[in-house]
Amino acid sequence: MHTSPVSPATRRQRQHARRLGVLAAGASMVLAACSSGGSGDPADYPDGNITITVPFAAGGPTDTVTRLIAEPMSEELGQEIVVQNVEGAGGTLAAGEVAAAEPDGYNVLMHHIGMSTAPSLYPDLPFDPLEDFKTVGLVTNVPMTIVARSDFEPETLEELITYVEENVDTVTYANAGVGAASQLCGLLIETAIGVDMTEVPYDGTAPALTDLVGGQVDFMCDQTTNTTGQIESGDIKAYAVTTPERLENLPDVPTVAEAGLPDVEVGVWHGLYVPSETPDEVVSVLTDALAVALKDQGVIDQMADLGTAPVAEDEVTPEAQTALLEEQIELWKPIIEAAGVVGE
Ligand code: MLT
């Protein structure tokens, strides 16, 4: 953490933060906590702790993927990686804070598909995903499952659709807030069925899943990295996977297309980001470490157990991630606008 009088780099960061409009008292405390690393000279990078900020609750899918890669990345970089969770506003709070953080390579954001839906969901988003970040590389693309509390009446996706149509005023759908993948999946279901369900927002799908198991909410979409164990143990029931093919580790769960909702096919792609003024040579170091982590056999095996896999080698690049981000911003814009969802 910097304790010296305000450095030129810090001044630049604050100017940048003021432009983003997020340097409120609370945010500045988090920024200070994030400024953990090094001499500030890109040639020395990395020579201090690196913080990866997860924009959702601990124990959830984004957190799980981050912690899987943090250890091998840390070994490769020879520095400690601190994973911190900054929950709120469907992931946009954390993204705004990292966008405004010191652009020195010690402040990294893990985010998912929500980075591409946020600009359409939030009219006053305090950052621009393309302007205020540099991309580091893609990480993984996680399938989702449509799941319900174990004693929920519908037994199949077809029965669920009918149930939702007939009980739209009472059925409850859990998500991780406007901007979360679980919210996007719910929106696709609502659009496909033509209903408007009661959504119960959480800080992440880890706490949402706890309430689903406890029977406090009826159903949700969540990534296999969070649901596989609970589906296998029977704590929740699964109606469908959001992939074109069935998953090897959940062979009895039909695809959304098989089960009658082809428009709910969606994969939750994850990538790493740094503030836009981070030097390219620093970004390259992070990209190389990410590539090494994604080849780690332990990471590959653990991801396979959770129904996912590292992205292909040529996708672990800033270029591939930026291209996907641009494409996905355009893809989701008309769908979200048509649904009329607005985040706060
Ligand atoms: C989501 O719905 O976007 C994620 O599951 C959030 C999380 O990691 O908890």
| pLDDT tens, residue by residue, 226-249 | 999 999 999 999 999 999 999 999
Structure confidence at residue 103 (pLDDT): 97
Instruction: Report CA(332)–ligand 1 centroid distance (Å).
Output: 18
| pLDDT tens, residue by residue, 289-301 | 999 999 999 999 9
Residues near 24 by beta carbon (within 8 Å), at least 6 away in sequence: none
Which SS3 state, helix, strand or coil, does residue 200 take? strand
Does residue 342 surpass a pLDDT of 60?
A: yes
Both tokens of 126, joined, read 């305090």
Structure confidence at residue 210 (pLDDT): 98
Structure confidence at residue 173 (pLDDT): 98
DSSP collapsed to 3 states, 224-244:
HHHHHHHHHHCCEEEEEECCC
For residue 64, give the ligand 1 atom closest to its CA. Answer: 8
Both tokens of 191, joined, read 């659009």
The overall average pLDDT reported for the chain is 90
Instruction: Report CA(59)–ligand 1 centroid distance (Å).
Output: 10
For residue 206, give the ligand 1 atom closest to its CA. Answer: 9
Residues with CB under 6 A from ligand 1: 56-57, 60-63, 114, 176, 180-182, 204-206, 222-223
DSSP 8-state code for residue 5: S
Does residue 328 surpass a pLDDT of 60?
A: yes
**To which residue do tokens 């689903």 refer?**
212
Does residue 15 surpass a pLDDT of 50?
A: no
Which SS3 state, helix, strand or coil, does residue 187 take? helix
Does residue 32 surpass a pLDDT of 50?
A: no
Instruction: Report CA(290)–ligand 1 centroid distance (Å).
Output: 21
How large is the average pLDDT for residues 122-143?
97
Q: Please give the full DSSP string across 294-339, using - where no structure is assigned.
A: HT-HHHHHHHHHTT--BPPGGGSSHHHHHHHHHHHHHHHHHHHHHH
Does residue 27 surpass a pLDDT of 90?
A: no
| pLDDT tens, residue by residue, 81-92 | 999 999 999 999
How large is the average pLDDT for residues 307-323?
98
Structure confidence at residue 37 (pLDDT): 61
Does residue 11 surpass a pLDDT of 50?
A: no
Q: How confident is the model at residue 193 (pLDDT cuts 50, 70, 90)?
A: very high
Does residue 206 surpass a pLDDT of 70?
A: yes
Q: How confident is the model at residue 7 (pLDDT cuts 50, 70, 90)?
A: very low
Structure confidence at residue 20 (pLDDT): 36
Q: Whose alpha carbon is nearest atom 6 of ligand 1?
A: 204
For residue 114, give the ligand 1 atom closest to its CA. Answer: 3
For residue 112, give the ligand 1 atom closest to its CA. Answer: 3
| pLDDT tens, residue by residue, 53-95 | 999 999 999 999 999 999 999 999 999 999 999 999 999 999 9
What percent of the chain has pLDDT above 70?
A: 89
Q: How confident is the model at residue 22 (pLDDT cuts 50, 70, 90)?
A: very low
Structure confidence at residue 4 (pLDDT): 28
Phi–psi pair at 116, nearest 5 degrees: -90, -20
Instruction: Report CA(43)–ligand 1 centroid distance (Å).
Output: 36
How large is the average pLDDT for residues 191-218?
97
Structure confidence at residue 226 (pLDDT): 97
How large is the average pLDDT for residues 101-113?
97
Q: Whose alpha carbon is nearest atom 5 of ligand 1?
A: 205
Instruction: Report CA(246)–ligand 1 centroid distance (Å).
Output: 22
Instruction: Report CA(281)–ligand 1 centroid distance (Å).
Output: 31
Gap between the Cα atoms of 105 and 188, Å rounded: 36
Does residue 25 surpass a pLDDT of 70?
A: no
Structure confidence at residue 36 (pLDDT): 53
Q: How confident is the model at residue 40 (pLDDT cuts 50, 70, 90)?
A: confident
Q: Which of 285, 259, 258, 263 is CA-nearest to residue 274?
A: 285
For residue 90, give the ligand 1 atom closest to its CA. Answer: 3
